[in-house]
Amino acid sequence: MKNLEKLLKGKKKTITLMIGLIIGLYLLESSGLIGIIRSPIQSALVPLQLSLYKTRSDFQNFLNTIVDIRTLREGESSLRAENAQLLAENARLKKLEAENNVLREQLGAKKIDRELIVAAVIGQDPLIASSEILVDKGSVDDVKRGELVVVKDILIGEVVSVGEVSSRVRLLSDAKTKIPAVSEAGARGILKGEFGNSISFDKVVQGEKLARGQIIFSSGEAGIPKGLVLGKINKVENQPAALFQKADIQPLLPLDKLETVFIIKKR
């Protein structure tokens, strides 16, 4: 009971205080005195309001800046992606144009009257010698072992192994290469691959004229069409006491930079 009486007394005091405060504010408003009190309070709060407003404005600008930066970055990323795609497409078109040019040039060669298979050089097998290359045509493309590989009328090598979708091509620099050949001056000999990926024109009898810059052709023997270009003479080795002359041969094409070649179909 005593606790209840204390609680009721406390509530009465609070209600009385609130009523008194309301009456006092009403009297101050009616008499005009409230304006005198309000003015200093408002003056004191103005700097705080300005500070809060500026802080809110700065924070909003900060948020807007973050959004703008993010938008710019997304736009820049999109532009980079589009630019990379355009560069890739341009490179692809240039490569396609180069391949078409090679194909047109090959079709314009008059030395070969057989069906050709266009093949791309895909590199060298790390398990084989550097005197062999891999091409992207195989048994599914009807490639057969022993078929010759050319670029225009320049002999590159011979297919020595055929997989389902790729083949190995032995280059002229391979030590197993032996091709009956003739120089543009009519000297006959054998074009041979040498250890160390070099090529020689060997077994040329003394008295035949060999000179730097002369072109060496296939002579039409051993199943190889006549007139295919094998290389040009870079250096002549002539020892008078020897039975034969010999010349170092330089390929007309950089074999390590080949991209497109043509396989001559067997009849």
Sequential DSSP letters for 63-102: HHHHHHHHHHHHHHHHHHHHHHHHHHHHHHHHHHHHHHHH
CB 92 within 8 A of CB 105: no
For the ranges 121-130, 132-141, 189-198, the maximum mean pLDDT occurs at 132-141
Q: 201-233, pLDDT tens digit by residue?
A: 999 998 888 999 999 999 989 889 888 999 999
What mean pLDDT, rounded, does the chain reach? 76
The pLDDT confidence band at residue 157, using thresholds 50, 70 and 90, is: very high
Q: Please determine, for residue 192, whether its predicted confidence score (pLDDT) is greater than 60.
A: yes
Average pLDDT for 158-166: 94
Average pLDDT for 21-49: 55
pLDDT at residue 158, rounded to an integer:
95
Residue type, 232: K
CB 214 within 8 A of CB 231: no
Which of the residue ranges 54-63, 98-107, 192-201, 257-266 would you say has the lowest mean pLDDT?
98-107
The pLDDT confidence band at residue 42, using thresholds 50, 70 and 90, is: very low
CA 116, CA 37: separation in Å to the nearest integer? 105
pLDDT at residue 40, rounded to an integer:
56
Residue 75 makes CB contacts below 8 A (sequence gap 6+) with none
Output the CA–CA distances (angstroms, integers) from residue 139 to 125, 130, 150, 170, in the order listed.
18, 23, 19, 17
The pTM is what? 0.60
Q: Please determine, for residue 151, whether its predicted confidence score (pLDDT) is greater than 60.
A: yes
114-117-123-125 Cα dihedral, nearest 10 degrees: -80
- The per-residue DSSP string of 115-147 comes to -EEEEEEEE--TTS-TTEEEES--GGGT--TT-
Structure tokens at 235: 């250096």
Q: Please determine, for residue 23, whether its predicted confidence score (pLDDT) is greater than 90.
A: no
The pLDDT confidence band at residue 234, using thresholds 50, 70 and 90, is: very high
Average pLDDT for 131-144: 92
Q: Please determine, for residue 113, whether its predicted confidence score (pLDDT) is greater than 90.
A: no
Q: Please determine, for residue 174, whether its predicted confidence score (pLDDT) is greater than 80.
A: yes
Nearest by Cα to 151 from 181, 106, 107, 90 = 106
